[in-house]
Chain A
Amino acid sequence: MKTMMRFAHVLALSAIFLISAARTARAQETAAVPPKPSDIVSTKTYVSFDPVPRGKEFQAAVVVKINTGYHMNSHKPSDSYLIPTTVTPQLPAGFTMAGEPSYPAGKNEKFPFSPDKPLNVYTGSVTFRMKLTADDKAALGKTSIPVTLRFQACNLSACLPPVKIPLTLEVSVAEAGKAGKPVNPEIFPPKPTS
């Protein structure tokens, strides 16, 4: 009898647990929250010198890690209606950029929703680079340079709206002629000496 009562108890508790778990799941589905950009990518910014002497060109990089299962359009997507990935620095006074940021080539990949037409996309880790210079008007000391990363990502069946993520490049500016130390060699490998 005691065993039967125990069974009944376990049965009732299990049923209550399962039904309440399902209710939670359904409630979560009703109030669906779209994935946040941070669910799709992680980002990190780097500069090649610390400090950067005024007048010396240095590099900056934005490294974007795209989570497995997602891809984003490359900078040159396959269709004019698709939104390209862009990196746009808002340079403060005293900073200039040589040309445009450099974007790696995307990969042509087919997806279930585009079985005939390959799409030019980024997956995995991708690095965008910029060549910057702090001239004699650049403020000495630490400066934060805002950078906007814009992308539009999809998984294998659906897409997320285009988003803009604000990033920051932290730069330390020194007097002209002062020796700057190369940093972040994993991102900016030293050029081989011949």
Chain B
Amino acid sequence: MIKVVRTLAVAAILSAAAFAFSGCKVSIPTQPAGSLKDAPNVTFKDLQGKDVALSSYKGKVVLLNFWGTWCEPCQHEIPILIDMQNKYASRGFTLLGAATNDEVPTVDKYIHTTQFNVGGKEMPMNYPIVMGSDDISTQFGGLLGMPTSFLITRDGKIYKRYIGALDQVQAQVLKDVESQL
């Protein structure tokens, strides 16, 4: 009898541990439907100074990518983002790049003069770019590093957060995006 109780106790503790620490990864784990948090109601400025509300993208799956022209890992993942935009835009997906800790002229020059090698072809950034800010970063819970991306569902909820260059988790990101399309 004691043996059975002991086994059950160990199993219960291990299960509790597994449940407890399953969420302690760098990116936020997928949460069950219905418990996802709303994305903050933020408004960016585009490079012409016009307001771009994140809510205006409701109905689309959005990968909101906080990046900076000064950030090498951010530059490194741009070919992946261009490729995703090419692949999924027709299925109700968009990338939204939020340049953070940057100046408009620098960003403007960067996006209009820089070409990226996407599968052997030189391509420019092909998705909307807006300006981020410290306030917006804070509303997203504070950015631990750049790049940081948030996958937002069609109804405006945060599905997942990815910290660091996406090339290191590319397969998972594509799987996550496809699960929302």
Contacts and interface: CB of A to CB of B under 8 A. Distances in A.
A8 B9 CA distance: 7
Nearest to A112: B168
Interface in A1-26: 3-4, 7-8, 10-11, 14-15, 18-19, 21-22, 25-26
A162 interface: yes
Given A7-B5, A7-B6, A158-B147, 20 more contacts: A15-B13, A21-B20, A22-B22, A22-B23, A25-B23, A25-B24, A29-B23, A30-B141, A32-B142, A33-B142, A34-B142, A34-B144, A81-B69, A81-B75, A113-B77, A157-B165, A157-B168, A158-B148, A159-B68, A159-B74
A178 B73 CA distance: 54
B143 A14 contact: no
A83 B146 CA distance: 14
Interface of B: 1-2, 5-6, 8-9, 12-13, 16-17, 19-24, 28, 68-77, 100-101, 106, 110, 141-148, 163-165, 167-168
Given A14-B13, A29-B28, A155-B145, A4 B70 contact: no
Given A7-B6, A32-B144, A162-B70, A19 B19 contact: yes
Contacts of A83: 70
Interface of A: 3-4, 7-8, 10-11, 14-15, 18-19, 21-22, 25-26, 29-35, 79, 81-83, 111-114, 119, 152, 154-155, 157-162
A28 to B, nearest CB: 9
11 contacts: A14-B13, A18-B13, A18-B16, A19-B20, A21-B21, A25-B24, A79-B72, A113-B72, A119-B72, A158-B163, A159-B72
